[in-house]
Structure formats: C-alpha cells, structure tokens
Amino acid sequence: MAVENKQVLLKGYIETMPKETDMEVKVSEIMITNHNPPKGSSSILVKNLYLSCDPYMKARMQYYRRSYIPSFVPDQPIEGFGVSQVVNSDHPDFKAGEYVAGMTGWEEYTLISPNHTQQFRKIDLDNDIPLSYHLGLLGMPGFTAYVGFFEVCSPKKGENVFVSTASGAVGQLVGQLAKLHGCYVVGTAGSNDKVDLLKNKFGFDDAFNYKDEPNLVAALKRYFPQGIDIYFDNVGGEMLDAALRNMRNFGRIAACGILSLKNLSDPQSFYHLNNVIVKRLKIQGFIQSDYLHLFPTFLEHVTTLYKDGKLVYVEDIKEGLENAPSALVGIFSGKNIGKQVIRVV
Amino acid sequence: MAVENKQVLLKGYIETMPKETDMEVKVSEIMITNHNPPKGSSSILVKNLYLSCDPYMKARMQYYRRSYIPSFVPDQPIEGFGVSQVVNSDHPDFKAGEYVAGMTGWEEYTLISPNHTQQFRKIDLDNDIPLSYHLGLLGMPGFTAYVGFFEVCSPKKGENVFVSTASGAVGQLVGQLAKLHGCYVVGTAGSNDKVDLLKNKFGFDDAFNYKDEPNLVAALKRYFPQGIDIYFDNVGGEMLDAALRNMRNFGRIAACGILSLKNLSDPQSFYHLNNVIVKRLKIQGFIQSDYLHLFPTFLEHVTTLYKDGKLVYVEDIKEGLENAPSALVGIFSGKNIGKQVIRVV
C-alpha cells in the first residue's frame, strides 16, 4: 500500500545561519508492505514519532565544514536523532511495534539501512518517562551534559560552576548534576523567562540574562567573587573570554559548543587568553560519541535520578513536520525554552 | 670594607615592551665584613656570577598585571634567577665559598633574606657542566621544558611534535627530549641561523623560519601533512591559531608562553578555535613551579642525558652588568641565539 510520506528536505547548502526557506516541506509516497524492507536487506522501516533539533545540525547544512560528521545531502530529508516505532523489520534485533531511538530522517516514515541500525537502541515503554525524553534528558544532549561534566570537568564538591545556554537541552542537566554533586552553580541565558526557569525550576543557585549585562567580565565577577572552577561552555566567543578572566587557578573549561558564532570560521577575539597560563587552566573540547561505553551507566544513573524526583527536564515541543524548519531555525536565536523537539503528528 | 656594587635598577613601570632606557646601571656600595649579614638574620651575602634573562620578567617590569609573581620595585635592582657564590653566611644550610642558584638581584653582590634562601639550591662544582647551565638546561627553563613536555603533553612514541621559539632556552630542550622519546619533531624560529641550529645542532627532524611564511596554516600543513599531536606553545597568537587548524584529533597543546603579545592584555584573534571541539583538543596552561617535587628527578635525568652526550645546549652569554639591559630587551625581539645569560664580570 502506498501511503503519503511528508518530508523536510534541505534545498541546498547554506553559508551561515539556517533560514526556514533553506528547507522545503514536501509530500512523497512510500510503500508500506511486507516487502519493505526487502528480505535480506537487514533494514528496518520505522514511523518517526519525535525528532530532535540540535545545534550541531547547522554544520551539517553547510558544505563540508571539516566537522566530525558529514554534511546533509541536498534534496534529501534532513537527518537527526529521532524516537520511532518499527513498522516492518528485516533485522534480527528489531521487531515490528518496538520503540527505538537513533539517527533517522525528517519525514513520517524512514527506511533505516543496516549501518544506521547499529546505532539504534531499543526503548522500553515506561509510563513515567515521556518517549521524547530519549532525545533530550536520556539522549545525546543529556549524555553530553553527563560526560562533559563528570569526565571532562573533574568536578569536586564545593566548586563553583558556571554554565552558558543554561536552560538549553544540555545546560539544564549540567546545572542540576552540578547541584547534586554539591557544587555552587550559576547559569546564564538570553531571556528573563529562562533565568526564572534556571532559578525556580532547575534549582541553580543564581542566574542572569546576559543580554542585560553590558560588561560580561564584571557580571561574572559579581556572580563569582571567588572565581569560577568549572565553566561548561556552550557558546565560545565573548562569554568564554569573560570566563577566562574570572577563572580560579587550575580551573577547567569544557568546550562543548560555539553557539555565539554564526559561522564556525568567523574570528573570535580574546583579551584574556593569558589567564590560561597564569591560572594554569585546562580547556578541553569533547564530543559525547567518544564516550559511548559510558552510555549504559549514564542511562541508569539519570533515569534513577529522574524517577526519584531529583531531576526535572523542560522540553519545547512543536507539533507537525510542517513546523520543523521554524523550530530548527529558532534554536539559533534562542526562541526555544528547553529542549527543542518536533512531534510528528 | 665598603666595595663597589654595580647594579641594574628598574627606573619605573613600563607599559608594553621593555627598552634599555627603562633600566639604569648605577654603582653603589656594599659592606663586605664579617657582620654582613648580621648575626641572627639567617641571611646570606652572595657574589653573583651569572644572571638569567627570561620572558616572564617583562610582566614583572609592568605594574601588577595579575601575573603569578609580584612586580619589581622601581629604583631597586631587577630580580632574576642567578648563579652565585656565597661570600658570608648566617644561614645554617650555606657556607662561604659554596655555589648556589636561586632568585637574586641584578648586581654584583646581593644580600639574600631567609625567605629567599629557602628557594636556593646548592650547586656541586662539576667540570663537565658549566655553572651557567644552572640558569638554562638545569634551571627554570630546562625544568619548564621537562614538565611541560612530560607532564602536560603526555607524549607517546611516534607522535608529531611542533615547538615554537624552538631554539630558545626552553624550546631547544623540548625538541631534544621529544626526539629522545621517539617523536617526530619540527621547530620554528625567527632567523635562518636559528633554523640551522635546530636542524644541525639540536637534531630536529625539520625546522622553518616563520618570518618567511606568509601563511602559517599552509606552512604547518606542509611540515605536518598528517597533523600535529603535540604543540608546545611559547608564542600564542597567530601561530597558535595556525596550529589549532593543523592539530590531529585528541591533540594536546601545552601553553607555556605568549611571546607574540607585546602586552598580555592585547587581543588575539582566532579563526580556528572550533577545532578545539571538533578535534577534541586539550589546551593546558602550566607553570613549572607547580611541579617542584619533580625537580630532583629532572636534574638527575637531564644531567645524565647531558653527560652521556645525548643532549646539547646553546647559550648566548653577554659579558658585564652594563650590557644586561640590552640583553634583556633583546630576547623580546629574538636577538639572542640560545639561552640568554649575563656573566657578571
């Protein structure tokens, strides 16, 4: 039976920031039969339920930018993390009806080839955990927060932790993990609503709207009179420079993202890089996929914390594939409040 | 008996780069008697033999620049590492006639107070080792090379190592230690004479004059077609940026100095900082004095290597305190070839 398959395609490579018009929503057809996937293909056909909008996707919309994953293919569906249900399976590890999370297409139905199914994991339905959390709290962003904080930052109880884009998919968990670890935590975000979330929902010790601060060095000095031990950096640029100036001796900076840059090759000016030597700082870049051996530990640890009521997670869910382009574009100007997810209705 | 004591004084705090006229050579008097140092003072009176010119001294000539050591005092002698002979001692650990190395004054005779003598170490006279080497190969610069390379860079045999200011007091030892460790080593310096030293005296695998390279990114790509695993950075700025672009995944950068900056607070522009994340790089600042527990190991290890003919060391010795200001000024424009030392004649 041929059914409609709504898709979000990349029209062509972009230069700097994505716009809605860089993508096209189109309806094509797909065969839903016992012969799709074909016998011997080791593939699975899935119906996508939730799709994830993540900052790293901008680099994939640009022509090969020396990123760590390949660019998207023009006129093909955008790719991203998704939570899906298996429709038909020719793969021994997956059965029709099961729920899975992994790299899928921005469309209603996707045929997942064997090399992609390797990275899929099965999800046990759990009434206490929304399926979409497997794109955030229990997915790549949550794992990024977990390994970035525990493996890269080497946190000690009582240390002072600063988090940028702190209400985002990664930051909100970094802050809560740091609090649970006994740290003093301050976050920054770009709106007063987000600052309110940080203080009153996520339990940060303090938070500020960086857009209200004419002098970031002075702002950080105010929030950290004793200095910063750990900076979890999602933005780079001017905020990183201001943090360098406010770090304590032997401080650690986890370099997780450079959201402040429109284009990764734009120059960034630093006035305080001498602090790296004077204060013996360590700046370390990391990518969560280098730590996948820790994923089961993470999943168990964070699931338990969540079920015990020690963690909360805030999502921003947009309904419908036709709204996916604006959702993706929105994360680069901070329109989302919490983890941006698309529900495929 | 009152004797002449030639001194080099700091006239006043400087703003950016030191000039000869920022210092004054003056002759004062000092009493050489059995009562100097006074009984109960726990001090020692030394005759200075060799004085060291090191880049960190620039920051001490500026008014408190948030460095890790205090500024010099105007109208007082410049301070720096020296090799000296004890004239009189009121300290139980030191006897007249002994040779010592430690922080002393730029003058013929210095009275060392007890809190400074703590950092003094005795030198056994050894015909195979010039006394001045205790300011370079076996002093602070050598120790900087040793801990920076082994403790900060975590080197592995076969890795590709890049060293800037490679013929300097620190760089020449980094390169030789890296070669002995089984690494492939390329150095850069600012003259063809220095490049010749790197290749033909210190045994670097290759070397280049950065002043001949209009495009540092392309130059490093030529010398490291497979990329850089370890960058021992003495300069910061444009060279650091070019190195970032040429690092391999999981590369390490030891941040040892920022000689490229006239003033530590001058801005530096980076185009390739995104490589820190994409390539999972670690940039770590360090100061040798945090590792002093390793000094005895270093001294034994490097002395043995030197005596076995496995290391060489090049010094640039200026004669006379009256030439000390020009020697110090010269290291910031690369006039010295090898470790800059002043012999107090």
How far is B8 from A79, CA to CA, in rounded Å?
A: 68
Closest-CA residue of chain A to B259: A274
Shared-domain flag, residues A187 and A169: yes
Token duo for residue A228: 């910063």
**B272 and A257: CB-CB below 8 Å?**
no
pLDDT tens digits for chain A (345 residues)? Answer: 899 999 999 999 998 899 999 999 999 999 998 889 999 999 999 999 999 999 999 989 998 755 667 899 999 999 999 999 999 999 999 999 999 999 999 999 999 998 888 889 999 999 899 999 999 999 999 999 999 999 999 999 999 999 999 999 999 999 999 999 999 999 999 999 999 999 999 999 999 999 999 999 999 999 999 999 999 999 999 999 999 999 999 999 999 988 877 776 688 899 999 999 999 999 999 999 999 999 999 999 999 999 999 999 999 999 999 999 999 999 999 999 999 999 998
Does the residue B297 lie in any domain? Answer: no
Q: Is A286 on the interface with B (CB under 8 A)?
A: yes
If one compares A229 and B345, the residue with the highest pLDDT of the two is A229
Smallest Cα distance from B157 to chain A, Å: 22
In this predicted model, what pLDDT tens digit does every residue of B99-130 receive, in sequence order? Answer: 999 999 999 999 999 888 888 999 999 989 99
Shared-domain flag, residues A218 and A333: no
Look at residues A162, A340, A274, A44 and name the one whose alpha carbon lies nearest to residue B240.
A274
Q: Which of A289, A305, A329 is the last residue of a domain?
A: A289
Does the residue A296 lie in any domain? Answer: no
Q: Is A56 on the interface with B (CB under 8 A)?
A: no
CATH number at residue B243: 3.40.50.720
Q: Is A299 on the interface with B (CB under 8 A)?
A: no
- Write down the pLDDT at residue B341: 98
Shared-domain flag, residues B125 and B44: yes
Backbone φ and ψ for A188, nearest 5 degrees, come out as: -125, 150
Q: Tell me the average pLDDT across B264-285.
A: 91
Closest-CA residue of chain B to A280: B285
Shared-domain flag, residues A144 and A202: yes
The pLDDT confidence band at residue B152, using thresholds 50, 70 and 90, is: very high
- Write down the pLDDT at residue B67: 62
Cα B118 to Cα A275, B54, B71, distances in angstroms: 28, 21, 20
Does the residue A66 lie in any domain? Answer: yes
Q: Is B157 on the interface with A (CB under 8 A)?
A: no
Token duo for residue A100: 């899975």
In this predicted model, what pLDDT tens digit does every residue of B54-80 receive, in sequence order? Answer: 999 998 999 875 566 789 999 999 999
Shared-domain flag, residues B254 and B328: no
- Write down the pLDDT at residue A228: 98
Q: Is B262 on the interface with A (CB under 8 A)?
A: no
Shared-domain flag, residues A183 and A230: yes
Which residues of chain A lie closer than 8 angstroms to B283, CB-CB? 276, 282-284
Q: How many structural domains comprise chain B?
A: 2
DSSP state of B38: P
Smallest Cα distance from B249 to chain A, Å: 10
Shared-domain flag, residues B126 and B163: no
Chain A, 161 to 220: residues with Cβ < 8 Å from chain B are: none
**Alpha-helical segments (H) within chain B:** 57-61, 114-117, 140-147, 171-180, 192-200, 216-223, 237-246, 275-278, 295-307, 324-330
Does the residue B300 lie in any domain? Answer: no
Q: Which of B255, B270, B276 faces A267 most closely, judged by CB atoms? A: B270
Does the residue B302 lie in any domain? Answer: no
The DSSP-derived string for A204-220 is -SEEEEGGG-S-HHHHH
Domain that holds residue B33: 2-136+313-343
- Write down the pLDDT at residue B266: 80
Shared-domain flag, residues A11 and A42: yes
Which residues of chain A lie closer than 8 angstroms to B284, CB-CB? 276, 280-283
Shared-domain flag, residues A28 and A102: yes
Instruction: List CB contacts of B162: < 8 A, sequence separation 6 or more.
Output: B185, B186, B187, B188, B220, B223, B224, B228, B230, B231, B232, B243
**B261 and A274: CB-CB below 8 Å?**
yes
Shared-domain flag, residues B29 and B114: yes
If one compares B162 and A33, the residue with the highest pLDDT of the two is B162
Q: Is A273 on the interface with B (CB under 8 A)?
A: yes
Does the residue B116 lie in any domain? Answer: yes
Does the residue A236 lie in any domain? Answer: yes
Token duo for residue B17: 């780069």
- Neighbouring-strand partners of residue A254: A232, A284
Shared-domain flag, residues A244 and A190: yes
For the four alpha carbons of B306, B309, B314 and B318, in that order, the dihedral sign comes to: positive
Smallest Cα distance from B284 to chain A, Å: 4
Full-model pTM: 0.94
CATH number at residue B25: 3.90.180.10
Which residues of chain A lie closer than 8 angstroms to B259, CB-CB? none
Cα A204 to chain center, whole Å? 20
Shared-domain flag, residues A106 and A234: no
Which residues of chain A lie closer than 8 angstroms to B258, CB-CB? 273-274, 277
Per-chain mean pLDDT for chain B: 95
Does the residue B299 lie in any domain? Answer: no
